[in-house]
Structure 1
Amino acid sequence: MIPGRRLPDAGALHEAAARRILELARTAIAARGAFHVALSGGNTPRGLHTRLAHETDVDWLHWHVWFGDERCVPPEHADSNYRMARETLLDHVAIPADQIHPMIPSAGLAPAEAARDYAARLAAEAPRHDGRPEFDLILLGLGSDGHTASLFPDTDILDERDRDVAAVFVPKLDAWRVSLTPPSIERARHLLFLVDGSGKADILQRLERGPAADESALPVERLHPQGSAEWYISEP
């Protein structure tokens, strides 16, 4: 059984996830003076961002926004996760600009260079524990192939244990991505998977039953969270 909440539609999904995120933010700020969250990309978080942007009683000044993964495109590109987050959330709230950390801050960065740069920024500005960044929350999605962040099946990043951030070439997309690595994701205090169930029935059923004897573990199944992991899933 996937631990978490089943919601009747996308609106309820975004409402419930927003309530939980704001609760975690208040707790982190009260306990440690800041809330370090890594946002996810794709289409599902758009409604969540819009929901959060309409909140008025939020201590945005103590939010620090990171990203779990990014396409290797300039920050103004239509496919940029950062651009989506900026247009749906970040441009509408009072998070200080120096507390928002896009993975690809400018055009022209090679994937490996962007990964090294982001790892250095994490080392300098994010909380750490046992040598790893320790996010208060990482938001994650789920692909129909079992990928999350940019941890795709049959890619080298799945076995990365040394670096916090890595560049990864995804053959099925014929594209480079930059992503947090498995140990960086696993170290988070909380993981929240946000899943629009439309078109995801097969992969959700697969996760419910687990891998068969002749099947390899999916990327999301290879994660071993050290904190909590919650699933918020809207019904198809």
Structure 2
Amino acid sequence: MNKKVEILKDKNALIERSLSLVVTKIQQAIESRGKCTIALAGGNTPKPLYEALAKQSFPWDKIEVFWGDERYVSADHLDSNQLMARQAWLSKVDFPETNIHPMSTTAGEPDLDAQRHEAELQQFFRLAPGEFPHFDLILLGIGDDGHTASLFPQTDALTVTDRLVTVGNKQGEPRLTFTVPLLNHARCIVFIVSGENKRPALREIFAPQGDEMMYPARLIQPEGELWWLLDHSAGAEFDGNLT
């Protein structure tokens, strides 16, 4: 597996490096395949990255945006990952609405919305039954409990292998999330991690042996490239120990 770990001096450097890498991967995908399919992460860490992407000059009609997970709230809710990305990036540029593919949360039944988004992915990527899409780029983060996307420790979503999208569970609150096999079919995954509170989880995630059910980010082993970009607060103890 093509795994790379970089520790940046602070959060500003983390965002700068993330921007450089994301821009490169988008450009490479467009040059190679005529478009780039990217799945975004939620949370606070990537927001300045999205704000920086809004200042770039891309052929926006050649980028197709998805999300790796979504809280089960309305699209205009302050906790919505979609809303954050629209406010920070997508609404700031001339981005075609038809190129934006949010996870629907309107059915009132999370599993039904998961099935609907899975059907959308199958149609968009022209998948045969049992096939998984190859996203050009998926952005991820981790929680201090070792979760990623909405794949939380000791939850049923971790064991789903025959779906593209499933229902995650955070302390009884449903969320929609890409499944582990979908994530692992990506051409490139980039983890963007900030904060000293992430160090205990990173120790477990990077350990040679560990419990994937307790630290779900260990399950992310993509076919393509795997990048871990950490600021110094998160990754100081790993500096020089990982390549």
Matched, 1:89 2:89: yes
Distance 1:26 1:44, change over 3 A: same
Structure 1 residue 182 displacement after superposition: 0.5
Residue type at the aligned position of 1:109: G
Structure 1 residue 210 displacement after superposition: 3.9
Query: In 2, distance between residues paired with 1:177 and 1:195?
Result: 21
What secondary structure is seen at the aligned counterpart in 2 of 1:47?
helix
Within a 5 Å distance, the mapping from 1:174-213 to structure 2 comes to 174-211=172-209
What secondary structure is seen at the aligned counterpart in 1 of 2:153?
coil
Residue type at the aligned position of 1:203: A
CA deviations over 1:138-162 (Å, ceiling 9, x no partner): 0000111111001111111111110
Q: What's 2:114 paired with? A: 115
Query: In 1, distance between residues paired with 2:147 and 2:127?
Result: 25
Structure 1 residue 205 displacement after superposition: 2.4
Number of equivalent positions: 230
TM-score (norm 2): 0.89
Q: What's 2:221 paired with? A: 224
Residue type at the aligned position of 1:113: L
> Which residues of structure 1 form unaligned runs of 5+?
none
CA deviations over 1:90-112 (Å, ceiling 9, x no partner): 111222100101112x5443201
Query: In 2, distance between residues paired with 1:19 and 1:127?
Result: 30
Residue type at the aligned position of 2:229: Y
CA deviations over 1:148-200 (Å, ceiling 9, x no partner): 00111111111111010011233x3x200000000100000000000013321
Distance 1:71 1:154, change over 3 A: same
Which runs of structure 1 show a deviation greater than 6 angstroms over 4 or more consecutive aligned residues? none
Residue type at the aligned position of 1:199: N
TM-score (norm 1): 0.91
> Which residues of structure 2 form unaligned runs of 5+?
234-243
Structure 1 residue 126 displacement after superposition: 3.0
Percent identity for Structure 1 against Structure 2:
37
Q: What's 1:134 paired with? A: 134
What secondary structure is seen at the aligned counterpart in 1 of 2:197?
coil
CA deviations over 1:187-221 (Å, ceiling 9, x no partner): 00000000013321222223333445x89662111
